[in-house]
Amino acid sequence: MNQPLKITQAHIERYDVSGPRYTSYPTADRFVEAFDAATYCKAVAQRNINGWAQPLSIYVHIPFCASLCFYCACNKIVTKRYEQSAIYLDYLQRELDLHLQQLGVQQTVNQLHLGGGTPTFFNDEELSRLVQMLKSAFVFSEEGEYAIEIDPRTVNYQRLQHLRDLGFNRLSFGVQDFNADVQQAVHRVQSYEQVEALMQEARAMGYQSMNADLIYGLPKQTPATFRETIAQIVTLRPDRIALYGYAHLPSRFKPQRRILQEDLPNAVDKIQMLSEAIQQLMQAGYVYIGMDHFALPGDALAIAKQQGRLHRNFQGYSTMADQDILALGVSAIGKMGASYSQNAKTLEEYYDFLDQGQLPIVRGLALSRDDLIRRAVIMAIMCHGELSYESIDLSYMTNFREYFKPELQQLVDKQKQGLVILENDGLKVTDMGWFFVRAIAMVFDRYLQHDSNRARFSKIL
């Protein structure tokens, strides 16, 4: 991808549609209420067979935010009542205890991610309590990845040092855009200098990796203003960059109703922003991991891509294998074996389950053989941009060409458009195809084949 790509108006018109981001397959909208805590416990029991299990990944959702960002589609609670966090911690302890009754104690953990909301809504004492709670229950690997999402407006040098002392070695900075007009339009004002100072301090403290989140497609953005933001982020040199396309779904996410439709860039401008950002970042030495992620060559994510070990989970691209995820907190999504589970989405319901001594799992999905096969195909496309038919055949004892005969026929059209290359033994996503990789993956999504209600997903472009 060394030369600018010629994306035509026909491409834009065809693919200005909604579709999943495939942080999982099947996607979370396919979860069913028939999957409850009892079903989850069976999945955990299966994990514990023979007394052996792979290391765990832990995700903790902290929903509180002190101020509202209009673009946000996360499960969050905007409040100035900081006393709520201590109550929430009490309930996290209750939930953890219930999980430990099923999992057992002292299992190995090699990945921890605190997301939200704003995890740094917790004060230092509360963060210490949360980490101690987890460390008393699990064995944390010395080589593990321990990350926390931070709002630069809520942290200072002392807070960064405290997080480092607690064992966090990775930070994710919510930047989104440096342009003042854009920041005003989305109600998130923070200066370049503020982020720069924090990144410099974190680097001096020995954090292994820093990520910066950016969003293109926000109100008031133009290709010219976003070009400036990319140039600024390059000077900060974060180890990883997540470049997300804004998903405008005001019917689902109430805060987005404060964003005027006429302030949003059109699909042509969004494609230009993405195309130019990719070129700028690659010229600055970043490796294009795929879809929305970039990393410096020495970062673990870039190395995992080179070695074919890249994976995708609910936090995006990951270096860790397809491992089980213990999810704690309101709305958190976990994975155990061939199943997904999700907690209650409201604080009231989450607390009510735990007051009754029950795991707050309200829905999920036990994956069928077909789900597993299609998940392997979709993840290969999303993570590696290529797929070997033989690898699927050997893993799942199937005949790929027969099993996916209709899907391969659909891909012929995408090959004519320059998005994929179909070969006798597999397929490859082209440089242009990476812009539309979700559309390529969607071909293999059985649930979408007879689904007319795709508007619940974000736009591909």
461 has pLDDT over 80: no
Give the 3-state secondary structure of residue 388: strand
- pLDDT grade for 3, boundaries at 50, 70 and 90: very low
Q: Are 148 and 210 in contact (CB under 8 A)?
A: no
Higher pLDDT, 16 or 458: 16
- pLDDT grade for 2, boundaries at 50, 70 and 90: very low
**Which residues have a Cβ under 8 Å from the Cβ of 383 and sit 6 or more positions away?**
290, 305, 310, 311, 312, 317
Task: Quote the pLDDT of residue 50.
Answer: 54
Pick the CATH number of 1-26+368-461 from 3.40.630.10, 3.40.50.300, 3.30.70.360, 1.10.10.920: 1.10.10.920
Task: Give residue limits of the domains in the chain.
Answer: 1-26+368-461
- pLDDT grade for 51, boundaries at 50, 70 and 90: low
pTM of the model: 0.91
Q: 241 has which bridge partners?
A: 212, 294
318 has pLDDT over 60: yes
Tokens 């064995």 appear where? 139
Which residues are annotated binding-site positions for S-adenosyl-L-methionine? 59, 71-73, 116-118, 149, 176, 188, 213, 247, 333
Most confident of 4-13, 403-412, 451-460: 403-412
CA 218 to chain centroid, in Å, comes to 19
Give the 3-state secondary structure of residue 391: helix
Higher pLDDT, 392 or 304: 392
- The region of weakest confidence among 5-14, 42-51, 112-121, 449-458 is 449-458
Q: What is the mean pLDDT of the chain?
A: 91
Tokens 């052996």 appear where? 52
Which of 398, 430, 396, 393 is CA-nearest to residue 415? 430
- Per-residue DSSP letters for 136-205? TTEEEEEEEEEEEEE-GGG--HHHHHHHHHHT--EEEEEEE---HHHHHHHT----HHHHHHHHHHHHHH
Most confident of 195-204, 241-250, 450-459: 195-204
453 has pLDDT over 70: no
What mean pLDDT do residues 422-437 have? 91
Q: Are 214 and 245 in contact (CB under 8 A)?
A: no
What mean pLDDT do residues 140-161 have? 94
- pLDDT grade for 126, boundaries at 50, 70 and 90: very high
237 has pLDDT over 70: yes
Distances (CA, A) of 122 to 63, 79, 97, 157, 393: 10, 12, 21, 16, 48
Tokens 């809504």 appear where? 121
Distance, in Å, from the CA atom of 446 to the CA atom of 457, rounded to the nearest integer, reads 16
Task: Quote the pLDDT of residue 4.
Answer: 46
Which residues are annotated binding-site positions? 59, 65, 69, 71-73, 116-118, 149, 176, 188, 213, 247, 333
Q: Are 414 and 440 in contact (CB under 8 A)?
A: yes
CB atoms within 10 A of CB 344: 20
Q: What is the CA radius of gyration of the chain?
A: 22
Task: Quote the pLDDT of residue 412.
Answer: 96
Which of 392, 303, 353, 334 is CA-nearest to residue 111? 334
Task: Quote the pLDDT of residue 97.
Answer: 98
What mean pLDDT do residues 78-84 have? 90
- pLDDT grade for 281, boundaries at 50, 70 and 90: very high
64-65 vs 77-78, strand pairing mode? parallel
DSSP state of 419: S
- Per-residue DSSP letters for 266-327? -HHHHHHHHHHHHHHHHHTT-EEEETTEEE-TTSHHHHHHHTT--EEETTEEESS-S--EEE
- pLDDT grade for 311, boundaries at 50, 70 and 90: confident
Which residues are annotated binding-site positions for [4Fe-4S] cluster? 65, 69, 72
Higher pLDDT, 450 or 301: 301
DSSP state of 221: -
Distance, in Å, from the CA atom of 357 to the CA atom of 359, rounded to the nearest integer, reads 7
- pLDDT grade for 456, boundaries at 50, 70 and 90: low
Distances (CA, A) of 426 to 401, 408, 422: 10, 10, 6
Task: Quote the pLDDT of residue 317.
Answer: 80
Condensed to tens digits (0 to 9), the pLDDT of residues 163-216 reads 999 999 999 999 999 999 999 999 999 999 999 999 999 999 999 999 999 999
161 has pLDDT over 90: yes
